[in-house]
């Protein structure tokens, strides 16, 4: 799927909204999954609509549903619909019944992603995911699209819900990579403010991508050090040197 062209505010031009000093290429790049590597929106939205039907909740419009893409589902249901812990458990079971069989494959890799990952591999940059999607789903999706060999580790949330925030996922991923922001040069790549803030908790900067589910205002407000609107621009940014 080709990333959707972005209409920028007048004051924004790619590469100028978040001026970044040139630096050596990173040792490690952490990638979000939904909205960064793949467009998972159709399957997630369809699964969430089934949950809303089961709970007799009025269906949100498409624009509202899009704002729910990215953070853990439990966070969305608790924050916007006051779900109790028991309701969240029930809602997740309903959602996963659909998503694990059908929804996760209502999904497309964004154009340019395979070539980008291969180039980063060729540059000897270690790649890992850091997604709030459970590891079961994340692994199946990455394998389904033939991307698994590009990654040293598939960092993800767990089905039990004890590792569901972006910060906890990144912590787990770094532990598996035996890396910290002090021992390695690390960058996060993501499309929502959760990616930026979760990485920041570990002293890691984030490059925001504008083909996903967030926008320039959200990402810059959260503290993204740079924004890119294409995989080519992302590759160039990652390759910048002194």
User: Domain check: are 151 and 167 in the same one?
Assistant: yes
User: Domain check: are 138 and 85 in the same one?
Assistant: no
Task: Give the pLDDT score at 5.
Answer: 45
Task: Say if 15 falls within a structural domain.
Answer: no
Asked if the model's pLDDT at residue 12 lies above 90, the reply is no
Task: Say if 4 falls within a structural domain.
Answer: no
Task: Give the pLDDT score at 23.
Answer: 60
- The last residue of a domain, from among 53, 80, 105: 105
Task: Give the H/E segment covering residue 41.
Answer: helix 41-54
CATH value at residue 58: 1.10.150.240
Residues 6+ apart with CB under 8 A from 107: 38, 39, 40, 42, 43, 141, 145
Alpha-carbon separation of residue 168 from 55, 68, 173 (angstroms): 29, 20, 9
Task: Give the pLDDT score at 160.
Answer: 84
**Cα gap 223→52, rounded to integer Å:** 33
What's the total number of domains in the chain? 2
Beta-bridge partner residues of 208: 190, 227
Residue 166's domain comprises: 28-39+108-239
Percent of the chain residues topping a pLDDT of 70: 90
Task: Say if 6 falls within a structural domain.
Answer: no
Report the sign of the C-alpha dihedral through residues 126, 149, 38, 156, in that order: negative
Asked if the model's pLDDT at residue 14 lies above 70, the reply is no
What is this structure's pTM? 0.86
Over residues 60-91, the pLDDT tens digits come to 999 999 999 988 899 999 999 999 999 999 99
- Phi/psi of residue 138, each to 5°? -60, -45
Over residues 26-40, the pLDDT tens digits come to 999 999 999 999 999
Task: Give the pLDDT score at 185.
Answer: 97
Contact (Cβ atoms closer than 8 angstroms) between residue 35 and residue 210 = no
**DSSP codes, 185-226:** -EEEEESSHHHHHHHHTTT-EEEEETTSSS-HHHHHHHT-SE
Over residues 99-148, the pLDDT tens digits come to 999 999 999 999 999 999 999 999 999 999 999 999 999 999 999 999 99
Over residues 161-218, the pLDDT tens digits come to 789 899 999 999 999 999 999 999 999 999 999 999 999 999 999 999 999 999 999 9
**If pLDDT is split at 50, 70 and 90, which confidence band does 159 have?**
confident
User: Domain check: are 93 and 174 in the same one?
Assistant: no
Average pLDDT, the chain: 91
Pick the catalytic residue from 27, 32, 149, 205.
32
**Cα gap 188→200, rounded to integer Å:** 9
Neighbours of 87 (CB within 10 A): 16
Asked if the model's pLDDT at residue 11 lies above 50, the reply is no
Please confirm, yes or no, whether 32 is among the known catalytic residues: yes
**If pLDDT is split at 50, 70 and 90, which confidence band does 1 have?**
low
User: Domain check: are 33 and 54 in the same one?
Assistant: no
- The last residue of a domain, from among 87, 105, 123: 105
**Cα gap 142→75, rounded to integer Å:** 24
**If pLDDT is split at 50, 70 and 90, which confidence band does 20 have?**
very low
């Amino acid at each position: 799927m080709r990333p959707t062209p972005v209409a920028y505010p007048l004051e924004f031009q790619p590469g100028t909204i978040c001026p970044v000093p040139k630096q050596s290429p990173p040792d490690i790049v952490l990638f979000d999954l939904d909205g960064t590597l793949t467009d998972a929106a159709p399957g997630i939205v369809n699964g969430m609509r089934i949950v809303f039907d089961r709970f007799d909740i009025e269906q949100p419009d498409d624009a509202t549903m899009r704002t729910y893409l990215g953070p853990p589902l439990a966070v969305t249901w608790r924050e916007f619909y006051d779900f109790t812990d028991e309701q969240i458990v029930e809602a997740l079971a309903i959602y996963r019944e659909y998503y694990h069989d059908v929804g996760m494959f209502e999904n497309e890799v964004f154009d340019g992603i395979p070539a980008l990952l291969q180039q980063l591999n060729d540059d000897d940059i270690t790649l890992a995911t850091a997604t709030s999607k459970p590891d079961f789903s994340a692994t199946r999706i990455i394998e389904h699209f033939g991307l698994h060999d590009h990654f040293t580790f598939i960092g993800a949330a767990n089905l039990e819900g004890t590792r569901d925030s972006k910060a906890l996922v990144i912590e787990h991923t770094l532990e598996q990579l035996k890396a910290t922001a002090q021992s390695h040069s690390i960058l996060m790549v993501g499309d929502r403010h959760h990616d930026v803030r979760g990485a920041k908790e570990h002293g890691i900067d984030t490059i925001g991508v504008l083909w996903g589910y967030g926008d320039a205002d959200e990402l810059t407000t959260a503290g993204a050090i740079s924004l890119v609107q294409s995989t080519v621009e992302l590759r160039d940014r990652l390759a910048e040197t002194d």
